Amino acid sequence: MLSKLYKNLILSNPKFVFILLIITLISFGYFSKEFKLDASSDTLLIEGDPDLEYLREVTERYGAKDFLVLTYTPKEPLTNNSSINNLLSLKFKLQSLSWVHSVITVLDVPLLNNSDKPLKDRLNNFVTLKDDDVDKIRGFNEILNSPVFRNFVISEDGKTTGIIVNIKKDEVLSKLKDKKAIENYKEKLKKQNHQNIIEIRKIIQNYKQDANIFLGGIPMIADDMMTFIKNDIVVFGVGVLLFIIATLWFVFRKLIWIIVPISSCFFSVLIMTGLLGVLNWKVTVISSNFIALMLILTMAMNIHMSTRFLQIKKKFPNFNNFEILNKTTGKMFWPILYTVLTTICAFLSLVFSGIKPIIDFGWMMTLGLIVSFFVTFLLLPSLMSSLATENEINIKDTEKSFITKMLGSFTKKNKILIYGSTIFIIFYSKKISIN
């Protein structure tokens, strides 16, 4: 029933199917602009997680401030006037940034043991390391020996101090009620945060000759993670694409058989990114490599289909493209379907991990494989029907390699050993995971 329906609707109307796919591609291509990345801490926890609920409760009760942390290790001792002046200069530079609320350094720590005045006078008129009339050595030792400030404001060896950069609170986000408006504004804040990180790193760079300075904090980590995700998508995507092209050229040695599978890969990825945009499904660090995996898995399906098409075309030279495609899809439907289903089962196992990014990755790959499967059996026959000619047959009859023969022979003769080893490995791996 299904085979007849597929034959009459898909194989018999390749141009119509191709036009329909182009329309689908344009539609999902439009929604692909909604394809978003997310590196926030919210992507790490599942809704309803007790820890997440507790975090939100604490944040709502006590509030939360965004801040950046700098570690400052001067090349000269911290007590030197040059180190203090450089640190003070860095503080003022950071303080001058429009998005910075306040900057706290070791120079702002009140010194209560720096004089012999009565305690009341010292509390009312406390001094800090940046004051001119302060005994720097005495003040430094006071901070270093204080259980309140040691290992918090200054390192135990006295060589490194911390700088807290408090970021101004955004009042607009809390007033927004519409979900779409909130999402759009968050994207705006991400872009602004990226510019802020670039800005503060430029300032830090000017003081690198006098001290070793490192930047940290949740806003910086989130921004760097976004950058890493984007780079991973580009690097792995381009790398896999070049690998696919090289593999296709090695197998087929014809330009047409590079274009056809690549087109299928392109369609699959673009439709998938559009679907993620429609579903408002954000890509995280874990799931960022789904594009590379989709390209590889889609290519595998396409190579099998293309190879079988050429083999049948060579075996039955009198068949027209429709007959060859009908025979090809009939032969390859079940093997590819079983391959997709087993791979889906593998990725669906990630759903039970309890870790949100991994769960999302499992669902993304499941959806991606379904998209690739349908694109393979819709787009490929349409392209083959129009582009394949008698001159494009380039499959050589070669003997099986020694390795293929050896592995095939071993598999046939040692079925019990293979099954037993598999069961043992599964059982042992479960035992290890439990322990």
DSSP string, 89-157: HHHHHHHTSTTEEEEE-GGGSPBSSSS-S-HHHHHHT-B-TTSTTS-HHHHHHHHHT-TTTBTTTB-TT
CB distance 335 to 304 below 8 Å: yes
**Per-domain residue ranges of the chain:** 2-43+226-398, 66-216, 405-435
Q: Which pLDDT value is given to residue 81?
A: 84
Sequence-distant (≥ 6) Cβ neighbours of residue 193 within 8 angstroms: 219, 222, 223
160-164, 282-286, 310-314: least confidently modelled range:
282-286
* Spatial CA neighbour of 344 closest among 374, 376, 369: 369
In CATH, the architecture of 2-43+226-398 is: Up-down Bundle (1.20)
CB distance 342 to 364 below 8 Å: no
Q: What are φ and ψ of residue 211, in 5° steps? A: -160, 160
Segment holding 329, helix H or strand E = helix 321-348
Q: Which pLDDT value is given to residue 45?
A: 65
Neighbouring C-beta atoms of residue 184, cutoff 10 Å: 12
pLDDT higher than 60, residue 392 = no
* Spatial CA neighbour of 97 closest among 206, 205, 218, 201: 201
pLDDT cut 70: percent of the chain above it: 88
CB distance 91 to 172 below 8 Å: no
Q: Which pLDDT value is given to residue 190?
A: 85
pLDDT higher than 60, residue 86 = yes
pLDDT in tens, 128-164: 777 777 777 888 888 888 888 888 888 888 889 999 9
Q: What is the average pLDDT across 207-216?
A: 92
The two structure tokens encoding residue 323:
């007959």
The two structure tokens encoding residue 142:
């006071």
- Cα torsion at 242, 247, 249, 253 (round to 10°)? 180
* Higher-scoring residue by pLDDT: 109, 87: 87
Taking each helix axis from N to C terminus, what angle separates 256-278 and 14-31, rounded to the nearest 10 degrees? 50
The SS3 of residue 63 is coil
* Higher-scoring residue by pLDDT: 121, 70: 70
The two structure tokens encoding residue 362:
């499992």
Q: pLDDT grade, residue 375 (50/70/90)?
A: very high
CB distance 167 to 100 below 8 Å: yes
Q: Which pLDDT value is given to residue 391?
A: 47
